[in-house]
Structure 1
Amino acid sequence: MGMDWVHEYLTLMGISEKQASTPYLKHLLSAHRHVFPFENIGKLVFHDQAYVTEDVERFLWRHRMFHTGGTCITLNLQFSRLLEALGFQVFFLKPGGDHMALLILAPETGEPLYVDVGTPIPLLTPLPLNKHKQTHVPLFAGEKVILKAGDQEGEYTYIRTIADRIVDRKWAFSIDRLYHLSDFRDTIRQSYQADAQYMQQLRCEKWCARKRRMVSLKNKELTIRTHNGGKIKRSMKSREDLMDVLANTFSLPKLPVEKAMDKLEENDHLPWNKDRHISSF
């Protein structure tokens, strides 16, 4: 495999190639979150399971053409390929039985680190997996990720809390059970079923490094969260409004969101579906 794509990948993220190290990993992780959005618009538009696991060149081409990123498997798989090419030791984890995350060995010490660029929350730093204690990582004001060591060695539970209240379901995983891409085939296939979460909604999440804020779109609800705990919410009133937000607030003007909205509307999943039919008479 030619390695031109490594240079291209790093250039897209505004990063130069360096020797593998934990500080470099942290830099790569934050830059990846800033450039490649967590979004399902590409999934809805390029309706092909091979899209999730396509080669790196194709992933980068698609981002250049359409500003796409992906959901958990696409993003973590491509990031894992970049990290391996840069000399990191990378393994796949399967937290909760249907998510993909990465286990990376710290180049300096061999300590296991939990890494995830494929989640709607801004996990911007590698999380050390300590055997006997919890790793607490504050994300934003009041929001934390906790990696809690289990009774058996190598077992952990990923827990997300806001204001010390658990949100989402807990994800159990073991670092002694490592996976291959083929182990995610069923998860990928199921993610394209009509009743799958990301076939029934519009999602886009992006970390804005310069402004230190997370912008999040779920259907027609925009949420902007800042590092100091501020939160702004706004409801989109029209398709045009939504396209404007993706172009200007997210800086992703090429995302093929019109096609994605068409697809969701066909299946009665977008809230202003009915209004549009009335106004078009």
Structure 2
Amino acid sequence: MEMEWVHDYLRLMGMSEKQASTPYLKHLLNAHRHVFPFENIGKLVFHDQACVTEDIERFLWRHRCFHTGGTCITLNLQFSKLLEALGFQVFFLKPGGDHMALLVLAPETGEPLYVDVGTPVPLLTPLPLNKHKQTHVPLFAGEKVILMAGDKEGEYTYIRTIADRIVDRKWAFSIDRCYQLPDFQDTIRKSYQPDAQYMQQLRCEKWCARKRRMLSLKNKELTIRTHNGGKIKRRMKSRKDLSEVLADTFSLPKLPADKAMDKLEESGHLLWDQERHISSF
């Protein structure tokens, strides 16, 4: 394999190249979640739709310079390129009509596996798509993901529960429908509209592999969830607090958080008690 970017990608994740296998896929998924955050800070700062589908060398360069990751399409698109280069068969899924996830065929058996590195939910293992029963995957703190087979073969519903209560909307999808990147262009365009979800808040989610905990920042609120079900919440009182959390707790000191906060403050979506300060960039 001659592509230098593959070695760069694996090096960033602390991984070595191996033969495609389901255990290797799980390790790649875990490493990707540990290194590349689910975040919209880059989206707010660079505000360029081309960043979502940029070439993989540029994606890796941006992470090295700014510690960026992205939201669902950016992360799953780039991860799919890596998996294909490593010998996996990968297809795009469109759960809920506006999300991108991946269908990866298990190299050993050809079994379809649901893979997603572009979600705030800590999905750290490939999920088998069983047409005869539900797939239950425990996550953290009573949180589960259920993949429920539909009446028609190839149809599934993605359901997320906390303490056996359904949260979020259900995502229906079919593994028989093949999507291409152009099928997501309208979703990308809408995601940059002023009223889009990730243009109105500051968001960063990251899996901390060594401490086995999930870090979640939404505007001023930090939530730390541990593997054994513990949960700690902390509210930021200033821009300095928020920047320090991203640098120290998330280990993402290069994220251009000040510029993202400027944009959210200007649009009235992030307000502090103290006087607003415009940063330079």
What's the TM-score, normalizing by structure 2? Answer: 0.97
Q: Does 1:81 align with 2:81?
A: yes
Map 1:12-51 onto structure 2 (within 5 A).
Answer: 12-51=12-51
Percent of aligned positions that are identical: 87
Find out whether 1:243 has 2:240 as its counterpart: no
4+ residue runs of structure 1 moved beyond 4 angstroms? none
Say which SS state the counterpart of residue 246 (structure 2) adopts. Answer: helix
Aligned to 2:164: 164
Could you tell me which residue of structure 2 aligns to residue 212 of structure 1?
212
Deviation at 1:275, TM superposition (A): 3.1
* CA distance, structure 2, for counterparts of residue 87 and residue 39 of structure 1: 28
Aligned to 1:119: 119
Q: How far apart in 2 are the matches of 1:7 and 1:226?
A: 31
1:165-204 paired onto structure 2 within 5 Å: 165-204=165-204
- Counterpart residue number, 1:102: 102
Q: CA deviation at 1:98?
A: 0.2
* Matched residue type, 1:218: K
Question: What TM-score comes out, normalization by structure 1 length?
Answer: 0.97
Whole-angstrom distance in 2 between the partners of 1:146 and 1:20: 26
* 1:140 Cα deviation from its structure 2 partner: 1.2
2:151 alignment partner AA: D
Aligned pairs for 1:141-152 within 5 A: 141-152=141-152
Secondary structure at 1:215 match in 2: strand
Cross-structure match for 1:276: 275
Count residues with an aligned counterpart: 277
Contact 2:141–2:225, Cα closer than 8 Å, also in 1: no
In structure 1, give the amino acid aligned to 2:274.
D
Partner amino acid, structure 2, of 1:275: Q
Q: CA deviation at 1:271?
A: 2.7
Structure 2 segments unaligned to the other structure (5+ residues): none
Shift of 1:178: 1.6
Provide the C-alpha distance between the structure 1 equivalents of 2:219 and 2:271, rounded to a whole number of angstroms: 8
For the residues of structure 2 that align with 1:146 and 1:277, how far apart are their CA atoms?
A: 43
Structure 1 unmatched runs, 5+: none
* Aligned amino acid, residue 199 of structure 1: M
Counterpart position of 2:252: 252
CA distance in 1 between counterparts of 2:214 and 2:83 reads 24
Contact kept in structure 1, 2:159 and 2:169, CA below 8 Å? yes
